[in-house]
Amino acid sequence: MDNNKLNTITNLFEGKEIRSVWDSDKEDYFFSVVDVISALTDSNIPRNYWSDLKRKLKGEGSQLHENIVQLKMKSKKDGKSYLTDTLDTKGILRLIESIPSPKAEPFKMWLANLGSDRIDEVFDPEVAIKRAINYYRKRG
């Protein structure tokens, strides 16, 4: 798999560092939850924000917290590796939808547009075929 998924996610955060790890067994990236929260909120302590959000989501019946995987990632502060809450790509996108922040709105709009496009393709498969043709033409 190429880095298109990683590059897309990283570009969405406009240069903010989001630590990630590639899992070759699952063929997916896992992203640091605290890094994403830090990039999207003005929280001084993103760990506390995540703790509060996780509790709130669990209370609302969200199963996002069940998808958390703790992986060792290098700390930005001291360079040592610590277990860090991570989510796969789907989980991170779901997390972004749950963050009430003006910085998260562009992501939410992007996700809504993608969802709308895919629904259009379900009802009119020709739209999907044209999208695929355009995609492959751009890639050469």
> Which residues, at least 6 apart from 116, have a Cβ–Cβ distance to it below 8 Å?
none
Tell me the pLDDT band of 8, cut-offs 50, 70 and 90. low
Res 2 pLDDT > 50:
no
Q: What is the DSSP string of 7-50?
A: HHHHHHTTT----EEEETTTTEEEEEHHHHHHHHS--S-HHHHH
Q: How many CB atoms lie within 10 A of CB 67?
A: 15
- Residue 4 pLDDT greater than 60, yes or no: no
Query: Using one digit for the tens of pLDDT, what is the confidence trace for 48-73?
Result: 999 999 899 888 888 888 889 999 99
In this prediction, residues 122-135 reach a mean pLDDT of 86
